[in-house]
Amino acid sequence: MKAFASIFIIISILSFLVFSNPTDLVLKFKDLTNKSPYGIAKLKESNVKDMVFSKQKNYSVVLLFTSSGNEFGCNNCKDVEQKISRVSKNWIQTEKSTQIFFAKLEVTESPNAFISFGVKGIPEVYIIKPECTIFKASDECTSQISIKESFSSEYFISEISHFFPNETFGISEDINQPVSKISFLYGILFSFLFYCLYNSSNAQKYFRTISLSITILFVLLMCSGYMWNHIKNPTFISFNKETQEPSIFIPSSSSQLGIEVYLVFATYFISTIAFIFLVKAAPYYEDKDLKTLSIFVCMGVLLAMNSYIYSTYGIKSHYYPFRIILP
């Protein structure tokens, strides 16, 4: 018994010495990070406490609780991990890469760790500060980053920048985005049918009428409010409770007023009038200068209306990627 006790004490002392050196922890974290193709160190129950919650560590950790499989019904786990990996792969190329590490835990491999930490659902992202030594989510030393439906690398950067204001994060562009084969096939099929329809003698004769009818139906559908209600964060006017000033863009639709309907109707109504004039009136002007001017005016109106729509989305969500003219 004494021999076994001595061996146990020796092993414990050696383990403490190995993990008591911050340099050794950094080197091991770097090794795990370099082994991962996504730049995110993969941890397990056996080493997460020593690597992330050690008293000797001098770095912060961005810890992702996730699942690679579909056993737990996490549909956006892979997407969130990919968005975070674009940031982590860029970060490990900087000079300060040893001050912040990106890591993840798999629920299938470390279920007890999820329970002990207090994970309520996946995916969840936490920022673990250097002074945090207790393996449990707490307001004192851990901070959670909210996972939204429209999670993006830009949004992730904006969130972690609040906790690391002196650091500059970027996005790595070397990750190939998966191509939707179904959408690609649908696009080819639609293009082929459109080509056959346009080249047929009967359809070509009524092509303008058909396209105009489809456009009008589209506008009526959008103005009905059915589609607009499915667009995230629509525009509307409300009043600021503190200043009592009108606010056009607010983050919730619970206080929206009737002005939303008029904004939508006006935008698509102007676009429809411009499109009808472009198709029906502009080609029949005999004066070439007048014909050219009318075409440019109609195209300018359509461009302005689309720019306004994209701009409203951008004001609502700063990480919305599409812009035309308006910022």
Q: What is the pLDDT, as a whole number, of residue 222?
A: 64
Q: How big is the CA angle at 116 (ends 44 and 20), to the nearest 5 degrees? A: 55
Q: How big is the CA angle at 142 (ends 136 and 148), to the nearest 5 degrees? A: 105
The phi and psi torsions of 58 (rounded to 5 degrees) equal -130, 30
The pair of three-digit structure tokens given for residue 212, joined into one six-digit string: 């105009």
The domain made up of 2-163 has a fold known as Glutaredoxin (3.40.30)
Q: What is the pLDDT, as a whole number, of residue 104?
A: 92
Cα(40)–Cα(38) distance, rounded to whole angstroms? 5
> So where are the chain's domains?
2-163, 182-316
Residue ranges of the chain with pLDDT lower than 50? 1-2, 4-5, 8-20, 174-177, 179, 230, 232-239, 246, 248-257
Beta-bridge partner residues of 326: none
Q: What is the pLDDT, as a whole number, of residue 253?
A: 43
Q: What is the pLDDT, as a whole number, of residue 8?
A: 43
What pTM did the predictor assign? 0.48
Q: What is the pLDDT, as a whole number, of residue 51?
A: 84
Cα(54)–Cα(20) distance, rounded to whole angstroms? 8
Q: What is the pLDDT, as a whole number, of residue 174?
A: 44
Beta-bridge partner residues of 64: 104, 125
Q: What is the pLDDT, as a whole number, of residue 123?
A: 86
Contact 223, 265 (CB under 8 A): yes
Q: What is the pLDDT, as a whole number, of residue 13?
A: 43
DSSP 229: G
DSSP 177: P
Q: What is the pLDDT, as a whole number, of residue 267?
A: 81
